A and B are shown apart, each in its own frame.
Chain A
């Protein structure tokens, strides 16, 4: 599904150039659950942003479903993103002014799904995430765990082929964290590919494969299952 080869990303300030990704290469098959680990500043989040088509690499190749997407413009990336990729962020990133239902509905609006169908899909996914009773609440009225479940619901409502999770349990206590991880496992078992960046060895153990990074490079790769 994903194949990156010699992927490079630099950050420049006036005086210094920092290498965020240094000729990184690996692949992810459809249906896989991959965890990416490494110390702060090793390039995990940069990698996730590029994989999520939020950012552009400075060099190398990025094949997504057999298509070279490195060098795509913003419009094309946005098009590809909204149909194929769901995001789960550490800080949830729900829109405060929208209710639970409306937050989850958002990706469907951007992909042009009809209102009646939207309602069905959102309710389905809220049911699945066991957050239906909170559908009319605003994010601030929910606990952290509940907020992350809404974020997961939002990420999957469009049935994306790929979910990118950036430390999904980072802001949660262990009980809520485990719940979120269980949700991700369920999704993965249902066929969704998941790439998760995490600091937590515990969470990483849920995955099929752990890629460890340092200074923008892959250091080790452990296959768990």
Chain B
């Protein structure tokens, strides 16, 4: 029996090629789209899974209270790790850690890589797999370093063993390679290329030994028997016990939540990327739904063609359930063909998709889970899409259909119209959202930043670079390609260092205000284009300036002083006089207002150099000039740089991703919907061919008939527009609430989306309508 179904399904597919194409293509696009999303979701869910101890490993962030608001930071007091190990029985391993970028050199080979300084427990907590050396002995030597295979091969070559060899770090220290570990996969939250003992980093640092400062990260491993709630409560109480002057507290953040649930508000986890995962899962199902709707519509629309078969089969003794099984089987076969087709589409589209989402997803057809999911999608689509047509078609009475009576369409045509409205509603919501996301990104990108990000290079530097800076700066300017250069302790776009405990005259309760500080050179404001709106900048004399600061506009406002110049800001014993006010600039979250900033003339903490190239100088020439100067003074360092404007664009990654994906999904939703509409229009035209013939004989014009045929479909699109507007508005309103700096939702967006939907629908339908209208009426009239 099943062979009979398959046979008839295939023959029916071949016989109705156009219809089959619309159905298979529509479903295949839907399945492809959903599969892409599922691949992305799989990758998102797999983050950090490469680390063996999934139930035991935790990050230990701290919650700190500023101006009555709890804010969460990954940095913790230095002694916390050891104290947790000593005093909380459920914790069996703990490590301090700090993520740093370092320059590595072996002979002429030099590269910069990010890695971690950490205690020996780190190697156990993350179950690092040693290829050379072993975990137990790796950190016995205080000058040890463990490298990943990738960096070891870069430095020592593929065939050489790295174990026991020396590598020069930051052009001043020698480290002994005591282990080589397997490379970490891409999907880890905190990637690192090397691990070295923490003491090497914290050597002699007072702040590492006391509570009150938060500098290092802390990771712990719980014993498998430990109760999370108990241990977490003990962790939360520990800082208070050790330091009664602070109400900071630490807590446990599971490795399983690092990637998807790491957005904190008021000291609590409120979500994170998981909301994108959920959003895109919903979108995947919606796209599949649209594709299934096509199938339902086209199947029921051409029901007259199948009615006779239903009648004959029933007359021959087929029961209704057999017919239902038959029609669902047909839908399943179609869905399977679509699934196979979608594998081809996936292979074609995945590289492009990877570019957009900046991942390295693979089809993984040998992965049984992928096959099962693909088959699962096909089965769900087949059954879901086939169910309604199956029940509808099998309900035909043989007496009526065999007599050649017209099948009455009452409920079916109503449902079909409803489904078209559903499809177009979804498509229009996507269109509106695409426009809104684009607007929001452009809005933030075009906002007044307070500095000039163009032609601005950013370069990481080490401490030995700082004394040479003045000379390098002069030589850079002398090349003619460079406008100016400066040093700073943090990237312009990032939040950098911050701290509290500042006081000022007239301020009440000011100690818990969190201020960002920038340690800069005199040329900072000129190089970056930041504007000093009051007072003056720094002088050339670092010593003389040590008692002076500049403040950002918002800090001046917060101090409540109409004329902040000359006001004193104090921290501990230090008093600093304000000599200038800098116009507010945007950093950190591009959609938010920024914390107040304090500028100090203290380049010794600098970690970055910024170079502004001159207008009109070609980039290549400027870069080669800069490289020549840097190689001369700093031969050990590779010439590595980033452009600030590129880094700026990268800040919009999440929004850009949502924007681009929503654009793709909008286009696909419309494409699938239009395939369905195209099919429906074709069947309507066919059904009404006699009517059209009669009308033409009686004198109807082509345009009149096109209008007649298109009108009904446009009505449906009109209803879709009305339904989609409140849905889109509500969704957009909620989405925008996440951004402090956001656009207003304009009414014209809805108009644009509506007009677009109408134009697309009209273009789709009119093809069939025109075809029907220009057909010779003699042909349609003699068919009866």
Contact = CB atoms under 8 A, between A and B. Distances in A.
A55 B399 contact: yes
A78 B315 CA distance: 8
Contacts of A102: 4, 7
Nearest to B309: A95
Nearest to B317: A82
A95 B399 CA distance: 16
A133 interface: no
B399 A49 contact: yes
Contacts of A142: none
Nearest to B319: A78
B312 interface: yes
A178 interface: no
Given A54-B399, A89-B402, A97 B317 contact: no
A54 B398 contact: yes
A11 to B, nearest CB: 11
Given A54-B399, A55-B399, A74-B320, A95 B312 contact: yes
Interface in A73-104: 74-75, 78-79, 81-83, 87, 89, 91, 93-98, 102
A107 B317 contact: yes
B322 interface: yes
A95 B4 contact: no
B311 A93 contact: yes
A106 interface: yes
Contact of B316 (A49, A55, A91, A107): A107
B263 to A, nearest CB: 57
Given A52-B315, A82-B317, A95 B8 contact: yes
B314 interface: yes
Interface in B722-738: none
B315 A81 contact: yes
A87 B311 CA distance: 12
Nearest to A95: B309
A35 B15 CA distance: 38
Contacts of A95: 8, 308-309, 312-313
Contacts of A82: 316-317
B11 interface: yes
B723 to A, nearest CB: 33
A111 interface: yes
Interface in B1-54: 1, 4, 7-8, 11-12, 15
Contacts of A74: 320
Contacts of A87: 315-316
A54 B315 contact: yes
B404 interface: yes
Given A54-B399, A96-B15, A109-B1, A75 B319 contact: yes
A164 B206 CA distance: 105
A93 B316 CA distance: 11
A25 interface: no
Interface in A49-72: 49, 52, 54-55
B318 interface: yes
Contacts of A94: 312
Interface in B620-676: none
A23 to B, nearest CB: 21
A45 interface: yes
B403 interface: yes
A89 B317 CA distance: 15
Interface in B353-402: 397-399, 402
B314 A78 contact: yes
Given A54-B398, A78-B314, A91 B404 contact: yes
Contacts of A75: 319
Among B15, B317, B398, B404, the one with the most A-chain Cβ atoms within 10 Å of its Cβ is B317
A45 B403 contact: yes
Contact of B318 (A52, A83, A110): A110
B4 A110 contact: no
A52 B397 CA distance: 13
Interface string B295-315: 000000000000011011111
Contacts of A81: 315, 317
Given A45-B403, A98-B8, A109-B4, A93 B317 contact: no
B373 to A, nearest CB: 32
A89 B436 CA distance: 61
A78 B320 CA distance: 10
B7 A106 contact: no
B306 to A, nearest CB: 10
A81 B11 CA distance: 28
Contacts of B4: 102, 109
A81 B402 CA distance: 16
A97 B8 contact: yes
A77 to B, nearest CB: 10
Contacts of A96: 15, 309
Given A55-B399, A98-B8, A106 B313 contact: yes
Among B8, B12, B315, B403, the one with the most A-chain Cβ atoms within 10 Å of its Cβ is B315
Contacts of A55: 397, 399
B83 to A, nearest CB: 78
Nearest to B3: A115
A111 B315 contact: no
A37 B322 CA distance: 35
A81 B313 CA distance: 12
A111 B402 CA distance: 21
Given A54-B398, A54-B399, A55-B399, A93 B308 contact: yes
Interface string A174-188: 000000000000000
Nearest to B321: A75
Contacts of A89: 402
A111 to B, nearest CB: 6
Contacts of B8: 95, 97-98
A78 B318 CA distance: 7
Contacts of B313: 95, 106, 110
Interface in B461-488: none
Contacts of A111: 317
A133 B309 CA distance: 24
Given A45-B403, A74-B320, A97 B315 contact: no
A164 to B, nearest CB: 10
A134 B402 CA distance: 25
A151 B472 CA distance: 98
B323 to A, nearest CB: 11
A94 B402 CA distance: 11
Contacts of A93: 308, 311-312, 315, 402
Contacts of B398: 54
A15 to B, nearest CB: 17
A157 B202 CA distance: 94
A197 to B, nearest CB: 12
Nearest to B311: A93
A57 to B, nearest CB: 12
A154 B317 CA distance: 12
A110 B319 CA distance: 9
A87 B313 CA distance: 11
B436 to A, nearest CB: 48
Given A95-B309, A107-B317, A109-B1, 11 more contacts: A54-B314, A55-B399, A74-B320, A82-B317, A93-B312, A95-B8, A95-B313, A97-B309, A98-B11, A102-B4, A107-B316
Interface of B: 1, 4, 7-8, 11-12, 15, 308-309, 311-320, 322, 397-399, 402-404
9 contacts: A75-B319, A78-B314, A78-B318, A91-B404, A94-B312, A98-B7, A102-B4, A110-B318, A154-B316
Give 9 nearest A-B pairs by CB, closest first: A82-B317, A110-B317, A97-B11, A107-B316, A55-B399, A49-B399, A93-B312, A97-B8, A54-B399
